[in-house]
Amino acid sequence: MMKKIIIFLFLITIVFLSKENKVVIPKESIRFRIIANSNNEKDQMLKWQVNKELIPILHDITDVSNINDMRLNINNNLYDIDRITSKYTDNYMINYGLNYFPEKEYSGVVYPEGKYESLVITLGDGLGDNWWCVLFPPLCLMEATKTDYSDVEYKLFVKEAINKYF
């Protein structure tokens, strides 16, 4: 009964926040980030190459129904993530744990500043622009699989994913 009340209150919160044109991702989420060495063209291209090759692994590991399975999948795939990243550079660091993220807003979705459970790949000095997403709930691969979508579709996708997992 208590679980139903919590879910109901959560859904009301989502509806209220969506009227404000924003949706807040639950605290129990896992983010993913690739930080480029710098903003020069070569370093940004390297970031996108690593990203592109990691997308199939991300697709596989996000096919879970709860955050504990997601954590297990990340840990079980760190070797492959490291192997792929090392094909492009020797100067990188992979960190799965609590990492700092600045506040972001994307398509009406607010991602507050703070330390979050996340998988972060830092290329070189990590001073360039980054690519980031949310692995759990699996909001990460929308851009990788859709080339044209509107803000409304994105917000609906976020709501559906949150409703599915929480």
Share of the chain above pLDDT 70, in %: 66
d(CA 67, CA 35): 24
pTM: 0.72
Does 118 or 143 have the greater pLDDT score?
118
Summarize pLDDT for 119-132 with one digit per residue, the tens.
999 999 999 999 88
Q: Enumerate the domain spans of the chain.
A: 29-165
Q: Model confidence over 45-85: pLDDT tens digits?
A: 999 999 999 989 988 898 888 999 999 999 999 999 999 99
Q: Please tell me which of 16-25, 97-106, 142-151 the model is most confident about, judged by mean pLDDT.
A: 97-106
The whole-number pLDDT of residue 139 equals 74
The pLDDT tens digits of the residues spanning 88-103 come to 999 999 999 999 988 8
Residues of the chain above pLDDT 90, percent: 46
